[in-house]
Structure 1
């Protein structure tokens, strides 16, 4: 059987197993290991075993549980409540100010956790009820929470970019720095859209009543100090890393200890908070490790078959497509897959094929990691089966229906598409900061 056909059979078998409801790492790892045994006999088991050893020796992997633990400590200790109260007081006098503050809250939550699910949970339980109670348009604010939560997989310390770094064999630090400006740019575009929309239609985002805005300067400054605590933790963690004083792993440990210390000093580090944080950290870290292991094993089989070279020849030689046309087709495929898969599943399914192909076409893999992440954000919110849509349906109040959720994300998807286009046309938006830091 030709190698191209073997690659197609492997890919089809993997997709079929996923459709049956099997766990992602089980489906991918099983197909990869079985293909290795069938192709190379008993010696084929060395391929997944070698992948496991490679994973265990990958030192930056230690950052994963550290950042997840840091995020859960900060969220479970209700420091996010302080953040929202700060935005509530400072942004209340502006039309649409609470919605704008919610985007700011989501950026800080992203810097604390690195997972979009955490931002969605906090936004839906803390911000959304407050916005609805103060007369904000339910369709607009539902879109605000969904769009803001998607920033968690782009703003560092993004767990998804850690996963991409492991699979694509790229430096985690450079990928995180590459996500900073695109993430802040996207948040800024969201804020501009909300502000302009509320100026044109004031009923969508009314200002707070005067009695709620009548807060003393001392109280405002107290809330500002409480709200800036996560930023201080982020600075304590990232500044030594950017300056070259600590390694990435050491910085992640500093961040975890700073979060633990902050929660303890505020009197919120109870036994329950600590236990929940440790349990969730263990569960998510193990899940990611199994997924990475399965992806590495499957990718090793693909490399051994020469499938990537065959597909490159198909696109460039037989079909005559330009590198940019191939890249755009890849991004469109992510949006299609994102209607029924989450970001990690999408990455581990196509990484063995896309990452080497992108490299062969001459594109920068750091830049492509940012493109992948932004496209995943768009796919998360694309009907009919976007991942974020159903998360919001599960968490939203009863008065918000599925139709409201679908309508709410359309303008934000357009804004994110503009951001994706800007990063594609101007790669330096993603590459300038890592080039500047690592160049110095």
Structure 2
């Protein structure tokens, strides 16, 4: 049966990636070989048309622009200024420094949308400070790793841009739908830290009173304005223009890229060396994303040409799976896949396979997009292979062991899973804000 070859193709590609072969060339190479064998040399003509169509997608221009914005902000030094100011503002509270890390992580997520950059930046800036202030290594590492991954769900997230392209839904609608879940997740993190610090104050002590007094006497208002006003203005310019309907996500990304450059100039950190580094890293990341996208286009063309999507829909109908059972299975596969492969590969390999089934089952694709983003964020945190943990371990002091990271992240993973369950059970969490803005 020719439809069965589509499943064989998927299995071969997935296994080769798990064995460590390069994702882009495995995805594209195996798909092209099977395409030529099954469809003949005319397959190249079909593939070229599909690739040109994908690369002509205006929305995808947002990817390099958001990546540029995130890397430029990382170089600007704003994260360090934000964290220091926020820590002193919450200094009286037990766990105040950890709360400030969560809030700054959320603001960086709303400014950059890049997980790796946020986790590394927060780890370098805040982890030594938290340990010096007497925080337990578990709470410190758990807070930083989980806060860093907020860039997966809080707009402008690169994950949401790519999901919008693959699911063929509006990126602006995904951004709007993701805002409330992102805010609620931040509040859950803060709530856990407050409770943990209240029950066991030794793991998250308050700052010394003399530091807070000195902060208040040495131009507190001026420092708050300079630390908060600039990044907040950038967030408003990017997200506000999208939500107000003034700009498309791609146009807003261009505003963000320019704004991040201006902020770096204001901070006195802009020079030719910085610009070269930002442009090199942006080119590297963008090239990686788009070469995987070309491979994914070839895979999608062959998979659907072989009738793989129809075959899967037929299997689900014969098995009489309910929409919620199918959602659970997809979420489980995405969660486990997130241990081994990056979110870009998951979005380009797994999502195109299941998207037609969601459409056939009449499931809201915006809601599904948010569920997948939340799920990817959770798998990024989950031991033993969570990418966020590896990023943090790479910049952590020698006294911070891997066991500290694993124990510290578990409560946040539980929070994530509970919240994911709530969003599945109550889709209104995702749909409420878009409905309000439409009226």
Same fold (TM over 0.5): yes
> Structure 1 residues 305 and 62 mapped into 2: Cα distance closer, same or farther (>3 Å)?
same
**Structure with the greater relative contact order (CA < 8 A, sep ≥ 6): 1 or 2?**
2
Alignment deviations for residues 117-160 of structure 1 (CA, whole Å, 9 cap, x no partner): 01110111001111000001111111101111111111111001
Please tell me whether the aligned partners of residues 4 and 308 of structure 2 are also in contact (alpha carbons under 8 angstroms): no
TM-score (normalizing by structure 2): 0.96
Q: Confirm whether residue 361 of structure 1 aligns to residue 361 of structure 2.
A: yes
Which residue of the partner structure matches residue 163 of structure 1? 162
For 1:94, what is the secondary structure of its paired residue?
Answer: coil
> What's 2:415 paired with?
415
Contact preservation (8 Å) 2:87, 2:100: yes
Give per-residue Cα distances to partners, 1:298-352, cap 9 Å, x unaligned: 11222222212211221231x2321111110111111211221121122222122
Give runs of aligned pairs for residues 394-433 of structure 1, distance below 5 A.
394-433=394-433
Structure 1 residues without counterparts, runs of 5 or longer? none
Following superposition, the deviation at residue 170 of structure 1 comes to 1.2
1:246/1:384 CA distance change after superposition, 3 Å: closer
Deviates more, 1:15-24 or 1:274-283: 15-24
**Residue equivalent to 1:138:** 137
Inter-partner Cα distance in structure 2 for 1:344 and 1:68:
14
Does the Cα contact within 8 Å between 1:154 and 1:183 map onto a contact in 2? yes
**8 Å contact kept, 1:89–1:220:** no
Tell me if structure 2 keeps the 8 A contact 1:47–1:301. no
With 321-330 and 211-220 compared, the bigger mean Cα shift is at 211-220
Which residue in the other structure is 2:340 paired with?
340
> 1:165 Cα shift?
1.2
Contact 1:95 1:198 in 2 (8 A): yes
Residue matched to 1:321: 321
Provide the rounded CA distance (Å) in 2 between the counterparts of 1:164 and 1:33. 24
Unaligned runs of 5+ in 2: none
**Structure 2 match to 1:121:** 120
Q: How far off its partner does 1:286 sit?
A: 1.3
Q: Which residue of 1 is the match for residue 7 of structure 2?
A: 8
Of 170-179 and 217-226, deviating more is 217-226
How far apart, CA to CA, are the structure 1 residues paired with 2:45 and 2:299? 12
Deviation at 1:113, TM superposition (A): 1.2
Counterpart mapping for 1:182-193 below 5 A: 182-193=181-192
RMSD of Structure 2 on Structure 1 (CA): 1.5
1:43 corresponds to: 42
Aligned match of 2:79: 80
Structure 1 contact 167–296 (Cα < 8 Å) conserved: no
Contact 2:423/2:430 (<8 A) preserved: yes
Q: Look up the SS of the partner of 1:262 in the other structure.
A: helix
SS, match of residue 362 in structure 2 = coil
CA contact (8 A) 1:111 1:234 kept: yes
| 8 Å Cα contact 1:380/1:387 also seen in 2 | yes
| TM-score (ref. length: structure 1) | 0.96
* Correspondence 1:283 to 2:284: yes
CA contact (8 A) 1:338 1:379 kept: yes
Residues 153-203 of structure 1, C-alpha deviations (whole Å, 9 max, x = no match): 111110011111111111111111111111111111000000011011111
SS at match of 2:25: helix
Total equivalences in the alignment: 437
Match of 2:200 in 1: 201
Contact 1:340 1:385 in 2 (8 A): yes
Distance 1:96 1:5 in 2: 55
Distance in 2, matches of 1:431 and 1:34, equals 42
